[in-house]
Chains A and B, each alone.
Chain A
Amino acid sequence: MKTMVKVLALALTLAMALSLAACGGSDTDSDLAYVKDKGTLVVGMTDFAPMDYKAEGSDQWIGFDADMARSFGEHLGVDVEFVEINWDNKAMELETKAIDVVWNGMTLTEEVKKLMSCSEPYCLNGQVVVVPADQAANYQTTESLSALRFAVENGSAGAEQLDALGISYTAMDTQAKALMEVASGASDACVIDLLMAGAMIGEGTSYPDLAYTVQLNSEEYGVGFRVGSDLVETFNSFWKEAYDAGTVMEVAETYGVQESIIEK
């Protein structure tokens, strides 16, 4: 009996310690101060040319977003560390401070805006339908799409478009896998970003036998911060400055995305 009491007491103490720890999790402090204090800005991204990628044989992340992130780090006076994340977990990565910012050609969807505090948009993009090149002529209108078997990245902007059209699809974990589905014939079509489609399909690319047809919408890219973070403001003024100084367009031209950059 005595031992039972001891076990019970131990369990209660544990429960109390846990609930106390739960109360200690308030985040009123400045995110800017947190990052500066730490001395590193941890950028969560994925391998996504031309925004974030590694050149052949190099270990360094480059791309429009990677270069601008480095420049933002310089502006803050901190080091920039890139972490390749599982895109499905981006909100959790942010919230738990595993990363400080999501910066990877992220479409500002309703869902994203709910989960993070986002910067002003900096880049235009759209969702396009990709089909085998020899069938592209048959699928030039939204109406022609309903009979196709689609693959699309789970929770992506493309998936939202298909939902809105009432077209069912197979969800994949990346846009690249959706492309692979079409290339292998497992699906008839997929929906991916225009920027990505421009870089990855058609003649002279990895998928020469694919082509994109209908553009389903137009949308904007933004950078995501923790909910309520004061880094959003810092970022917006940094971007305006960099745009006025011509740095943004200079970097954009390096990676061929100057057409899509939003004027500030």
Chain B
Amino acid sequence: MLLDVTLSLLEGFGTTVELFALTLLLALPLGLIICFGSMSRFAPLRWIIKTVVWIVRGSPLLLQVLIIFYGPGLMFGLPLLPRFTAALLAFVINYACYFSEIYRGGIQSVSRGQYEAGQVLGMTKSQIFFKVTLLQVIKRIIPPMGNEWITLVKDTALVRVISVYEIIWMGESYIKKGLIWPLFYTMVFYLLFNGLLTVFFGWLEKKLDYFK
């Protein structure tokens, strides 16, 4: 029994991890683009980006998932995206916006003096970014990134609202068969996975523990 349940929950957790990994893969770079947009000197672009970030961060991810999946069909009679794709799209947009703010915080925390020093030495803008700023930014954004990644693992549970069969869905399906414990057993999977992430981020922080 335990083995059966574990296997079926693992199947659900596969979907959870897939959503987690693909979201990171796409949202990490997209976040950087949004971040540059939100710091752009071209005001209209900055406003648009800031409005988008406000809408995305200011509304529940659950609603965003529902809108992206059902919205095209309800509003325009268009064919729908596959369920998993819609879920992924909602997550990528949502997390890219959060990441963009983390990046922005990191970039703006590097003191003005360092840019000026770079300029005095005759470095170009991109040289300053890659050789002076970037490593410091990475080091500074590690703790908030760790937070977001762990939140992301748990947020994946929302996608069962559009019938993406992740681990909580699998756990809940046992309730109908009269088994209550599999739902709570799913917690072990989350804890183990987030434990790994915590260790990983701890290691990363140590690794980047230079220039104080």
Contacts and interface: CB of A to CB of B under 8 A. Distances in A.
Interface stretch (A108-116, A119-127, A173-181, A256-264): A173-181
A97 interface: yes
Contacts of A47: 173, 176
A23 to B, nearest CB: 9
Contact of B175 (A3, A85, A177): A177
A86 interface: yes
Contact of A89 (B77, B80, B162, B175): B162
Contacts of A7: 44-45, 48
Given A89-B70, A89-B162, A97 B79 contact: yes
A144 interface: no
B55 interface: no
Interface string A9-51: 0000000001001101111000000000000000000011100
B42 A86 contact: no
Interface string A175-207: 011011001100000000000000010000111
A84 interface: yes
A111 to B, nearest CB: 18
B127 interface: no
A184 to B, nearest CB: 7
A180 to B, nearest CB: 6
Interface residues of B, number: 30
A180 B162 contact: no
Contact of A205 (B66, B172, B178): B178
A206 B177 contact: yes
Given A22-B76, A27-B77, A96-B80, A86 B160 contact: yes
Interface residues of A, number: 35
B188 interface: no
Nearest to B160: A86
B76 A25 contact: yes
Interface string B16-60: 000000000000000000000000001011001000000000000
Interface in B65-103: 66, 69-70, 72-80, 83
A183 B176 contact: no
Nearest to B4: A57
Interface in A40-75: 47-49
A180 B74 contact: no
B50 to A, nearest CB: 14
B196 interface: no
B176 A184 contact: no
B180 interface: yes
Interface of A: 3-4, 7, 18, 21-22, 24-27, 47-49, 83-86, 89, 92-93, 95-98, 174, 176-177, 179-180, 183-184, 200, 205-207
